[in-house]
Amino acid sequence: LSNQKKYGDAAAAFEEAVRLNPKYLEAYTKLGYTYACLGDLSKAKETFQKALALFPQDPRLKEGFLLLLEGFLRHKPGYTILL
């Protein structure tokens, strides 16, 4: 429960960072991972997609999104809506 609160606090901080600077790549990346840690894979996917639209050539971002998808699909076989 303590970790959930920390992740919730982190998500709020990264959301604010993105709001203040919509081109802050690291905030998007960390926000996406934080949503994934909270189990909100829809928001994680949405966050990575926004970042990919802003920074389509960033290899770290592409790798992070692929790792998120791979981890999700490993735990939820047959769930392909993220693809």
pLDDT tens digit string along 33-67? 899 888 888 898 899 899 999 999 888 888 877 77
Give the pLDDT confidence score for residue 77 in this predicted structure: 47
| Position 68 pLDDT exceeds 50 | yes
Contacts of 69 (CB under 8 A, 6+ apart): 82, 83
Q: Which of 42, 43, 50 is nearest to 11 (CA)?
A: 43
Give the pLDDT confidence score for residue 10 in this predicted structure: 94
Query: What is the distance between the alpha carbons of residues 47 and 65, in angstroms, rounded to a whole number?
Result: 10
